[in-house]
C-alpha cells in the first residue's frame, strides 16, 4: 500500500536536514495501538539487570521461568504487572542458557551473523483485528492466535526439541494469546492483547 499521507512525505530528502512532516491524522482503527516493548536475548541476567535497572533506572516488573529460558520484564518505576497492557517503554529480556556459546549481535553488525534483537511488541485492543489489518497491508503472519508450538518461539533447535526441558504450560497459555508478524524488513513484531487472560 502506498501512502498519500502528508506525514509520510516521499523522498529524496535533503542531506543533513531534518524533515518534520505534519502529525499523522487520527485513525479510529489504530487509536489504541501503542509501542509496548522490545525483546532482547541476554547472556548474563545479573549484568543485564544491573545495566538496565541500576544504570538506566528501570525496574523488574516480573520474572517468569518458562522452563528452558527465563524472561525478565522491565519497565519504568510507575509500572506494575496490572498495567503492562497499557504501558509504554517496557523491555523484555530472555535468558536462554542453551545459547551460552551462541554469538549475539545487535543487528547492526553486518560482519557477523547471530541473534540478539528479538522483536518489537505492540499492545492492541484486539489481536485478531490487528492480524486482519496486517494481512490487508500484505505482510506475513508468523504465528497466529491460539497456537503455541515450540517451533514458533524463536529458540534454538535443541531447545525446541526438549533437550532443556518442556516449555511451561503457563507460558504456552499466554503464548496462544499473542501473535507475531514480520515487518517489511523481516523484523518480528509481537501483537499482545491489552489484557492477558490467566
Evaluate whether 82 touches 93 at the Cβ level (below 8 Å). Answer: no
Q: Nine-digit cell at 102?
A: 551462541
Q: What is the rounded distance in angstroms from the CA atom of residue 50 to the CA atom of residue 168?
A: 27
Cβ-Cβ contacts under 8 Å for 38 (sequence gap 6 or more): 90, 91, 92, 117, 118, 119, 120, 121
Residue 140: active-site member: no
- The answer to whether 96 touches 159, Cβ cutoff 8 Å, is yes
Q: Looking at the annotation, which residues are catalytic? A: 190
Amino acid at each position: 500500500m502506498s501512502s498519500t499521507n502528508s506525514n509520510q512525505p516521499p523522498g529524496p530528502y535533503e542531506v543533513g536536514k531534518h524533515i518534520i512532516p505534519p502529525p499523522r491524522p487520527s485513525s479510529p482503527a489504530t487509536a489504541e495501538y501503542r509501542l509496548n516493548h522490545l525483546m532482547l536475548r541476554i547472556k548474563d541476567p545479573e549484568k543485564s539487570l544491573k545495566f538496565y535497572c541500576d544504570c538506566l533506572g528501570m525496574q523488574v516488573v516480573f520474572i517468569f521461568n518458562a522452563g528452558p529460558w527465563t524472561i525478565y520484564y522491565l519497565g519504568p518505576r510507575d509500572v506494575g504487572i496490572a498495567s503492562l497492557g497499557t504501558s509504554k517503554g517496557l523491555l523484555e529480556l530472555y535468558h536462554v542458557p542453551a545459547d551460552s556459546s551462541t554469538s549475539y549481535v545487535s543487528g547492526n553488525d553486518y560482519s557477523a551473523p547471530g541473534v540478539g534483537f528479538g522483536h518489537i511488541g505492540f499492545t492492541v485492543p484486539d489481536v485478531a483485528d490487528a492480524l486482519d489489518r496486517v494481512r490487508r497491508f500484505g505482510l506475513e503472519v508468523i504465528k497466529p492466535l491460539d497456537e503455541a508450538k515450540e517451533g514458533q518461539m524463536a529458540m534454538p533447535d535443541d531447545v525446541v526439541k526438549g533437550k532443556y526441558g518442556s516449555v511451561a504450560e503457563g507460558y504456552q497459555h499466554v503464548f496462544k494469546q499473542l501473535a507475531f508478524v514480520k515487518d517489511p524488513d523481516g523484523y518480528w513484531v509481537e501483537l499482545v492483547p491489552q489484557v492477558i487472560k490467566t
